[in-house]
Amino acid sequence: MSTPEPDPNRRQRLVRTRRGRLIGGVCSGLGAHFGVDPILFRIAFVGLAIFSGIGIALYLALLLLVAEEGAAHAPIYLSRSSWRSVLGALAIVVAAGIVLSAIGHGAHRGAWGFGVGLGSLALVGVLAALLWQWLRTSAVTGTDGRASADRRLLRCAAFVTAVLAWMALLAAAGAWLAGIDLQLAAWAVVVLGVLLVLGAYAGWARWLVLPGVAFALAVATIAAAHVDLHGGTGERTYRPHAFGEVRGGYELGAGRLEIDLRNVAFPAGTTRLHLRLGVGEAVVLVPKNVCVATSASIGGGYVGALENRSGGLDINWSERPVPPLGTPRLLVDGSVGLGALLVADHPVEHDWRGWGGWGEGGWFASHSHRMALGTNEACLPATGVSR
């Protein structure tokens, strides 16, 4: 009995190839399937990843849903009837994501938004740990009887994701504790160090290395930035209408602090305004007829005071312009741990998505340097700024 000749016109099943792969064999498999150079798919995936991020999601989806060459099933193998349940579950997850995103967007500067972020991180950690456990114990193997390479890759990715998520949570716990009580957090780091040293001799402390380092680094960052989280969280706006309503000092632990002084008639002479913010954005809106001097201490972030600005770490800013005789002078004395201090003559909002560049003035300033904050026109010209 002779076997039927394979139809040369029939397209082969899409598989992720073992030969010519760079990561998971997705692009080389697509290239072989469609008979084109896989470099075209690689360029497309990288382009989609850079410009919209969807390239990564698409690649991961194909990694999970397309079987590897020689393997019996894809890492996620579902029967035809199971697809409906999966699509239903996915729809619910997407809907929940949209709702959470809307809630988080509405309160992204407050404690609730912070809580949503931490909750999402914990959820990712739990899901990744469950996936890792499932991949470790379930017994889907390739035709050679061994777990396929993509399954091992996925298991490894799930493990790394779970570890990173839990390290991030521990780092957040360390940062919060250091911002509330630095003394206690510092002693906790000492205790962790002692436990690691003792555990090295006893042979049980290897698991403590990553959590210990994550916690200690977070505490060190908060200490170096002089972050003080006392004073509450959220969004606070103060809009005094008379000079008598202006407080000497304003403070907030984390969030957005806005002090709108544009309706205040300042008397001649110098008025001091102290403000302290742990993490976030502090905005002082000033009237145009006041000469504004700014003194700021920023652990890490950005300061912009009307025409002048600077960004980076350990910023000590002092700008002391001189007003003409009889013109009121406002001295803004700000202290921000991590974040931005903006002094402007019109409403502004720092675009946090612009952070991360290497623009003039430091890491965080690339976007903010293009932001117009106003002019200090009530002061005499030729005044100095020191940073």
Partner 1 sequence: MRRPPSVTVLFTGIAVLLLGVLLVLDANGTIDLRFAYTAPVLVGAFGAVLLASGLSSRRRGRG
Give the interface with partner 1 as residue ranges (CB under 8 A).
Answer: 182-183, 185-201, 203, 205-206, 208-209, 212-213, 216-217, 219-221, 223-225, 299-300, 313-314
Sheet with 328-344, edge to edge strand ranges: 233-238, 249-260, 269-285, 328-344, 291-305, 308-319, 385-386
Minimum Å gap between C-beta 208 and partner 1 is 8
Please state the closest distance from residue 314 (CB atom) to partner 1, in A: 5
Q: For partner 1, which is the closer residue by CB, 100 or 182?
A: 182
Please check whether residue 214 is in contact with residue 164, taking contact to mean a CB–CB distance below 8 angstroms: no
We find the least distance from the C-beta atom of residue 305 to partner 1, in angstroms, to be 21
User: Exposed, middle or buried by CB within 10 Å (0-12, 13-18, 19+), for 2?
Assistant: exposed
In this complex, which beta carbon is closest to partner 1, that of residue 74 or of residue 185? 185
Structure token pair of residue 321: 């312009």
Rank residues 27 and 298 by Cβ distance to partner 1 and give the closer one. Answer: 298
Smaller CB separation from partner 1, 92 or 190: 190
Distance CA 176, CA 155 (A): 32
Q: What's the CA gap between 79 and 86, in Å, rounded?
A: 11
Q: What is the CA radius of gyration of the chain?
A: 28
Q: Nearer to partner 1 by C-beta: 15 or 216? A: 216
Q: Taking the complex as a whole, how short is the minimal distance between the CB of residue 331 and partner 1, in angstroms?
A: 24
CB of 309 to partner 1, least distance (A): 19
Q: Are 122 and 167 in contact (CB under 8 A)?
A: no
Cβ–Cβ < 8 Å for 213, 176: no
Q: Judged by CB, which is closer to partner 1: 133, or 318?
A: 318
* In the complex, minimum distance from the CB of residue 338 to partner 1, in angstroms, rounded to a whole number: 11
CB neighbour burial string for 81-110, b if at least 16 within 10 angstroms, e if fewer: eeeeeeeeeeeeeeeeeeeeeeebeebbbb
